[in-house]
Amino acid sequence: MHLDVYGDTLSALVCSTAMASSGHHVSLYLPEDSEFYHSIKRGDLPFSEEGLGALFRSQTGTKRLTVLPMSRPSSPETEVVFLNFHPHQLGVAFTIAQRVAHQGAVEVVINQSPFPVGSTEDLQQKLGSIPVVCIPEFLQEGSALQTFMKPERILLGSDDATAERLVREVFRPFNRLSDHFLVMRPREAEFTKLTVSGMLATRVSFMNDMANLAETLDVDIEQVRLGMGSDRRIGEAYLYPGCGFGGPGLSRGLLTLSEKLQASGVGSALLEQVLNINERQKEVLFRKLWCHYRRDLSGKTVAIWGAAFKPGTGRIDNAPVLPLLEALWAQGAEVKVHDPLALPQLRQSYGSREDLVICEDPYEAVSGADALLLVTEWKTYWSPDFNRLKMEMRSPVILDGRNIYDPLYLRNYGFVYYGVGR
């Protein structure tokens, strides 16, 4: 089939690349004034995702995937249109919908954008007889391509049986092992996406609350986590306490759900607490370090390993490192940061400043440091040379924001160790 994908998002890039790799002919339309468009034209992908760059280049090389400016008219052969816009671009989506309405060959429009509940129905009104369906994206950054090509489920919001059959055909290469489709009304699919984000965030914040309580009870939260996860009614996912969550997806979904509840007059004390707990948790490493040095961090050098909001991505959207940096600088500390992928975004966000040292090597970051703060649990940090760490650091203090190290092992090594709930 001939597919058009609109939007300068990770979802648009993954969708267009994966669909092209399955044999479809895909046109990816990008706003020509965006950095996203210029990056791709230079041959650089704006996202660091495993396998995505190589697959994207192979598909553009075979001409099954073509990148075009959004101002260019669509092909008259296009049968299916994907909308993969940012939350604030509903107006752009309406503009594209009006354009699509005049294309005779288009049989279905698939909305994958994180717009407010009811937006798919609004787009349907714009398009008239062309059916519009909703397939919320559940990409997990760091493994986005794998998430798309081997989905756990595909939520399809559709009121049109003919459109449903066509969508199933488009996604057939990724739906062969078993039927992953869950079909419901469009607004139910949109709302389900928000509720999933709310539930995952609630689990994380609950565990962070329990971790803070565990410290006052002389309890190791890691043992508690294992015990909770062994209960099949609870399961193991999203029970890891730490220094807070970030990212555009989970944070945005939670905020959108909370705002929707407030606007409806229903409100949600639970979601307000989830948000508050997470923001407090982003300060947990700073508070521990501040207390360790008797509330005086002036002149201290602090190393940070991990700036991305999660391993596998270079993005720092709403990442715990951001308030942590601001708190450390406010106390007069110099910060040295290493991250495998996020350093360019850090440079872009903060530019050049004397109290921020960007390090290309993790051991460069800890050289002369009064403490090491582990913020993002990249695999490269899991088994460092602890002898070298101890030699490089001015003071052997480790604050483990993801509980990846064994406290007893490090303390026996001569480190001062602080975890979360340990």
Residue pLDDT, tens place only, 249-294: 666 666 666 666 666 555 567 778 888 899 999 999 999 999 999 9
65 pLDDT exceeds 90? yes
158 pLDDT exceeds 60? yes
Range with the poorest average pLDDT among 78-82, 215-219, 243-247, 334-338: 243-247
248 pLDDT exceeds 80? no
305 pLDDT exceeds 70? yes
- Bridge-partner residues for 134, per DSSP? 111, 157
Q: Which band of pLDDT confidence, cut at 50, 70 and 90, is reported for residue 190?
A: very high
Q: Mean pLDDT, to the nearest integer, of 165-171?
A: 97
pLDDT of residue 213: 95
400 pLDDT exceeds 70? yes
pLDDT of residue 271: 78
pLDDT of residue 197: 86
| 177 vs 419: CA distance, rounded Å | 42
Please state, rounded to an integer, the average pLDDT across all residues of the chain: 92
- Joined tokens for residue 129: 């007889």
pLDDT digits 0-9 by tens, 82-141: 999 998 999 999 999 888 888 778 999 999 999 989 999 999 998 888 999 999 999 988
pLDDT of residue 153: 93
Range with the poorest average pLDDT among 210-224, 251-265, 373-387: 251-265
pLDDT of residue 141: 86
- State if pTM tops 0.95: no
- Bridge-partner residues for 307, per DSSP? none
Q: Which band of pLDDT confidence, cut at 50, 70 and 90, is reported for residue 178?
A: confident
pLDDT of residue 128: 86
- Which domains does the chain carry? 2-184 (3.40.50.720), 192-280 (1.10.1040.10), 282-418 (3.40.50.720)
Q: CA-based angle 146:22:179, to the nearest 5?
A: 65
**What is the end-to-end Cα distance of the chain in Å, rounded?**
55
pLDDT of residue 281: 95
Q: How many percent of the chain have pLDDT more than 90?
A: 77
State the helix-helix crossing angle for 186-216 and 269-281, rounded to 10 degrees. Answer: 50
Number of C-beta neighbours around residue 66 at 10 A = 15
pLDDT of residue 49: 87
In one-letter notation, the amino acid at residue 80 is V
